[in-house]
Structure 1
Amino acid sequence: MGRVSKDQARENRERVVASASRLFREQGTDGVSVADLMKAAGLTHGGFYKQFASKEALVDEATAHAFTTLEEWRTDAVRAHEGDPAAAREHLIDYYLSPGHRDDAAGGCPTAALAADMSRGAQDSTAQETYTEGVRRFAAWLATADDDGLANLSTLVGALVLARAVKGDPLSDQILKAARARVKS
């Protein structure tokens, strides 16, 4: 098999990062092996170390990639409600606390999905720094004239984690509904 072009190598790397971002949010960073990552990306296990120094290096990149999802949601909400920041905020809250978001951990918010991994990981890692900055930015976006957004963020993330944990029971939908009412009041 011949060498891949620089463009193909870049595309392969991007595919691995995107796949890792989804798998880490769905299964946790410890729950996914390098072989699993490469299989999900449609590449061979041997190619991993040509692209990444270690799994930790991939965790760093995949965490940053996951937070682009959150940025895209905010951008979409702002565009959908241009000139009305309160409506944009409510739009995002409605999606965040929806059954669809609850049921899509792989494509969902990294703040909720990666919280446990970040609490167990090295506090000085690039992934931890990216995560912390993502939390700050999300809270700032949720802030109102009356508060800094941290309580609302905590409510959103906590509700999503709990709703996912009891998914399949009516309590899951009740948690989402109660959190939505609390944050929007």
Structure 2
Amino acid sequence: MMCVMRNKQPSARAAAKEATHERIVSVAARAIRRNGYHGTGVADIMKEAGLTHGGFYAHFESREAMLAEAAMQACAQSVATVAGAVAGEPASQAMATVLKAYLSRQHVESVETGCPLAALGSETSRQSPEVRRVSTRHIKEMVDLIARQSPQWGQPETHEQALVTLSTMVGALVLARAVDDVALSDSLREAALKHLLPAETD
């Protein structure tokens, strides 16, 4: 019986293409948080990824498709960071840990690896439906994640409190990054923490 050897070359090419695709998305996920959607161009992303501009359309149908994938990765990283912060923490301390990490000076300074809601929120309403859908899904996921850290999880008011908590966290981070006065930036963070922590740690 003759044995037919399978050609492994196509799968190797597919793996290489997938790795390249992931590299582009990873670069774009940092770039959108650093420069905003409007400031993120295809040519710059491909150059930063070490690729030619002409290869872009082998991976994406459009710039908007790339932005949607980049936003998805940025959002996934944000959720993973929050989930990682609460992993192993006592239930009574989990939310305090999240708040202190989110409203830290380190997070204020880590724009391109930080929360995409704070970095991109004001631009999102003017983006494509695909990008807005990603952002909407992420907000719902974050609200649910925050609500689950509450001792009152399952009570009707917990969801509303999670909405307020997320809004305060994101708003404080946006303002802390916006000002050029370090003392004011710190005051904004600390005021938000003071407001949010007592209800979560009593």
Q: Is the shorter-chain TM-score for this pair beyond 0.5, marking a shared fold?
A: yes
Report runs of 4+ in structure 1 exceeding 2 Å deviation.
143-147
Which region of structure 1 is more displaced relative to structure 2, 4-13 or 90-99? 4-13
Separation in 2, partners of 1:94, 1:80: 16
SS of equivalent to 1:80: coil
2:183 counterpart letter in structure 1: P
Root-mean-square deviation (CA, aligned residues, Å) is 1.7
Q: Percent identity?
A: 36
Native 8 Å contact 2:36 2:119 kept in 1 = yes
Native 8 Å contact 2:29 2:71 kept in 1 = yes
Indicate whether 1:117 and 2:130 are aligned.
no
Q: Which residue of 2 is the match for residue 88 of structure 1? A: 94
TM-score by length of 1: 0.90
How far off its partner does 1:111 sit?
A: 1.4
Indicate whether 1:10 and 2:18 are aligned.
yes
Indicate whether 1:147 and 2:158 are aligned.
yes
SS of equivalent to 2:37: coil
Separation in 2, partners of 1:176, 1:167: 14
Separation in 2, partners of 1:71, 1:169: 27
Separation in 1, partners of 2:137, 2:20: 27
Q: Which residue of 2 is the match for residue 157 of structure 1? A: 170
How far off its partner does 1:168 sit?
A: 4.4
- Structure 2: runs of 5+ lacking an equivalent: 1-9
2:95 counterpart letter in structure 1: R
Q: 2:79 aligns with which of 71, 76, 79?
A: 71
Q: Which residue of 2 is the match for residue 182 of structure 1? A: 195
SS of equivalent to 2:69: helix
1:110 counterpart letter in structure 2: P
Separation in 1, partners of 2:136, 2:91: 24
SS of equivalent to 1:42: coil
Max Rg structure = 2
Indicate whether 1:32 and 2:47 are aligned.
no
Separation in 1, partners of 2:100, 2:18: 36
Please list the CA deviations of residues 41-92 of structure 1 after superposition, one character each: whole Å capped at 9, or x if unmatched: 12111111111110000011111101111221122123231xx233222111
Q: Which residue of 1 is the match for residue 186 of structure 2? A: 173
Separation in 2, partners of 1:98, 1:177: 9
Q: 1:135 aligns with which of 135, 139, 144?
A: 139
How far off its partner does 1:39 sit?
A: 1.4
